[in-house]
Chains A and B, each alone.
Chain A
Amino acid sequence: MSKTVLVIKWAVFILIFITSSALCQYDMVEIDNSVFGDPARPPSVFEHDAHNENAGLDECNICHHVYEDGKKLEYESSEDMYCSDCHSVKSENGSPSLRKAFHMNCKGCHLEQKAGPVLCGECHRK
């Protein structure tokens, strides 16, 4: 194999690698459930950008919220954090456990808007 072909192959490989990881957020198709240790269900489907576009959710902090003194801050958001950074797997001093935080957030809005999945198997698809 000639040297140039090899270089081109590597270049293409590295390019694909970089773009795919940069597009990670756009590629998000399910919510990582590894923080649960030994998850009981398949991870929930969630195509981040497509979902928010279809549902017309422009404000990031509908989900990526920040609280101060028990009140939600209107102009702050926390998309640089995981939900699990603030909601622990076991419920602590009144704030919802991680599982419940997800369920209240996702299922809560779907019930309210009468659109989007509400049954276990519609999100935790096998």
Chain B
Amino acid sequence: MHTIYQFVSGPLAWIAFILFAGGCIYRVAALLHTVYQKERFIFSYMSWRHSLNSIFHWIIPFASVNSRKHPVMTVVTFVFHISLILVPIFLLSHIVLWDEAWNITWPALPDGLADVMTVLVILSCVFFLARRIVLPEVKYVTSASDYVILAIVAAPFITGFYAYHQWPGYSFVMILHILAGEIMLIAIPFSRLRHMLFSVFTRAYMGSEFGGVRHARDW
């Protein structure tokens, strides 16, 4: 038990965080490099004003036409992404571990709120899964990898929730949780989850092209 715990929370955690950080930097650098090589003229019309305008309109629920067309999807995606990012960063349990390992701390979410947000993430995953199975137009463009990615995202939340409530098999699930978290971190730069990194650039580009070249809005 101690050996397994020390392994998954020691060397494996190091590997996961290094691959995560290194992978993210590599991905963004590679993207900028490709654009620079192939379509350098894009930089000539990139504008902070149009970029921020576009990002802003897509990040606020119901501020873009597309989001108004699909209200249920908009609410679920919004709640899902907010919780997905905030819970792991501001969870008390995670902060306790950062404090012990690196002597750094920051304010935590109340455990009760984090617990509710965790349930919301799990329910959102169920919603996304159902959508893929039920809606023909979504089912048509769904491949096996979409299910795998959904599972990778849901796993740390399901196991974390189970562990927090100390249901039977606590220590086993706790180890599974750490592994699931590490798999998800590694998957961010190396799977389709990298849209987490790229969405900002996509919107900046679309906003600048629509705003500066076509003189139209992209939201």
Contact = CB atoms under 8 A, between A and B. Distances in A.
Interface of A: 40, 99-100, 103-104, 107, 110-111, 114-115, 118-122, 125-126
Contacts of B5: 118-119
B185 interface: no
B96 interface: yes
Contacts of B166: 121, 125-126
Interface of B: 2-3, 5-6, 92-93, 96, 99-100, 110-111, 163-166, 170-171, 174
**In terms of DSSP, what is the predominant structure of the interface of chain A?**
helix
Given A119-B171, A120-B93, A114 B163 contact: no
A121 B174 contact: yes
Nearest to A112: B2
A118 B4 CA distance: 11
Contacts, number: 36
B156 to A, nearest CB: 16
Contacts of B111: 40
B96 A103 contact: yes
20 contacts: A40-B92, A40-B110, A40-B111, A100-B99, A100-B100, A103-B96, A103-B100, A104-B100, A107-B100, A110-B2, A115-B2, A118-B5, A119-B170, A119-B174, A120-B93, A121-B166, A121-B174, A122-B170, A125-B166, A126-B165
Contacts of B92: 40
B34 to A, nearest CB: 44
A99 B96 contact: yes
A118 B7 CA distance: 13
* Residue with the greatest number of chain A CB neighbours at <10 A, chosen from B100, B111, B163: B100
A3 to B, nearest CB: 53
Given A40-B110, A120-B93, A121-B163, 13 more contacts: A40-B92, A99-B96, A104-B100, A107-B100, A110-B2, A114-B2, A114-B3, A119-B170, A119-B174, A120-B96, A121-B170, A122-B171, A126-B165
Contacts of B170: 119, 121-122
A119 B193 CA distance: 30
A110 B93 CA distance: 19
Nearest to A91: B105
> Which 3 A-B pairs rank lowest in CB-CB distance, beginning with the nearest?
A114-B2, A121-B166, A126-B166
A91 to B, nearest CB: 8
Nearest to A126: B166
